[in-house]
Amino acid sequence: MTPRISAVVPTRKRPDHAAPCAGSILGNAADDFELLIVDQSDDDATKRALAVYADDRRFRYIRSSSRGASAARNVGVEQSTAPIIAFTDDDCRVSTDWLQQISSLFEREPKAALVFGKVSIPEELKGRGFAADFEPHQRAYCHELPPVHLAWGLGANMSARRSLFERLGTFDPLLGPGSPFRAGEESDLAIRALAAGYKVVNAAEIAVLHLGVREGDEASKLMRGYGRAMGATLTKHVRLGTRESKGLLLSWFTHFAGKGLLNAALGRRPTGLGLVGGMLAGAYSSLSQPIDRTRGIYTSR
């Protein structure tokens, strides 16, 4: 029987995260779903850690030689079977009603094609460094791009109808963790979906916890990486001629440059100027990166 929903988790060389993440998803009470762990590790440590779930008929372990979270998610989309596909990361823990909330939203919102849920940092980890989070504000977007002053949804808690991928194609494999541009794959998918006329919903009732806190130099490196990814993502859409993309790119630069300069003037650290520098670097790198204009994704040289 075809499952109602497929959950896809990319992982690489993080068995201590992958196993409890899988456990939190399998802790959802429903039986009519499948969980696909796409493992890009070079060793068997993650496979051994996940062996405890091998007898659960909802669980599927997939070993992949691909690299990068987007490539792993594309493998998951290809090998999954449900009409709804949910995504989270191995350093996240989902709520016990995560799958039910996703399924219910798509039932209530027949025009919704892409959904981003709430991503929170556990209280005991706050203040120790930087980790990406997302608090939904505006409920839905359609025929317009989200404004720069509101947070955009994260791939750590994202779900979509299979029909969206059937029309738009894959995640951009050169965007996202483990790829040349390190992040931005979920923002790129959202832009492509909105440009094609689909509805994107932000849902606070769909919740995950994100444990991936980075400290010190690692936090600064992560912020620069986010900036580089958004510079590359938005510049790609300017090159593709995506509606409103020029204004959005300019808004991102001016918004974050203004915040960074204000933080520097007030002596706040981190200033955020590293993110702006990353955006400039990403935009410049994008200009020499080939694009498959038919699919709207970067291609390797």
Model pLDDT, residue 285? 96
Q: What is the pLDDT of residue 222?
A: 84
Residue entry with tokens 């209280």: 123
Asked if residue 151 and residue 254 are part of one domain, the reply reads no
Rounded Cα–Cα distance for residues 199 and 194 (Å): 6
Q: What is the pLDDT at residue 220?
A: 81
Tell which of 189, 213, 237 closes a domain.
Answer: 213
Tell me how crowded residue 48 is: count the other CB atoms within 10 A of its CB: 11
Give the number of other CB atoms < 10 A from CB of residue 115.
26
Separation of alpha carbons 210 and 110, rounded Å = 29
Please indicate, yes or no, whether residues 132 and 19 belong to a single structural domain of this protein: yes
* CA 246 to chain centroid: 23
User: 273 and 127, same structural domain?
Assistant: no
- Amino acid residing at 82: A
Q: 256 with 207: CB under 8 angstroms?
A: no
Buried b / exposed e over 213-228, threshold 16 CB at 10 Å, is bbeeeebbebbbbbbb
What pLDDT does 97 receive? Answer: 96
If asked whether residues 172 and 102 sit together in one domain, one would say: yes
Helix, strand, coil in percent for the chain, rounding step 5: 40, 20, 40
Residue 92 belongs to a domain with what CATH number? Answer: 3.90.550.10
Distance CA 112, CA 100 (A): 16
Sequence-distant (6+) residues with CB within 8 A of 265 are: none
Report residue 285 as tokens.
């790198």
Range of the domain at 185: 5-213
pTM of the full structure: 0.96
CB contact at 8 A, 160 and 113: yes
pLDDT of 29-63, one tens digit each? 888 999 999 999 999 999 999 999 999 999 999 99
Asked which of 213, 240, 262 is the last residue of a domain, the reply is 213
What's the pLDDT at 155? 98
Total structural domains in the chain? 2
Q: Are 136 and 74 within one domain?
A: yes
Q: Compute the distance between CA of residue 106 and CA of residue 112 in angstroms, rounded to an integer.
A: 6
Helical spans, DSSP H, in the chain: 15-26, 45-50, 69-79, 98-108, 162-168, 185-195, 216-240, 245-265, 273-287
171 shares its domain with 291: no
Last residue of a domain, one of 192, 213, 234: 213
| Residues of the chain scoring pLDDT < 50 | none
Q: Do 129 and 18 fall into the same domain?
A: yes
Q: Residue 197: its pLDDT value, please?
A: 96
DSSP 52: G
Same domain, yes or no: 226 and 185: no
Do 244 and 209 belong together in one domain?
no
Residue 157 sits in the same domain as residue 224? no
Which amino acid does the sequence have at 218?
A: E
Say whether both 169 and 22 belong to one domain. yes
Q: Are residues 228 and 187 in the same domain?
A: no
Task: Give the pairing of strands 92-94 and 140-142.
Answer: unpaired
Q: Which two tokens stand for residue 52?
A: 């405890």
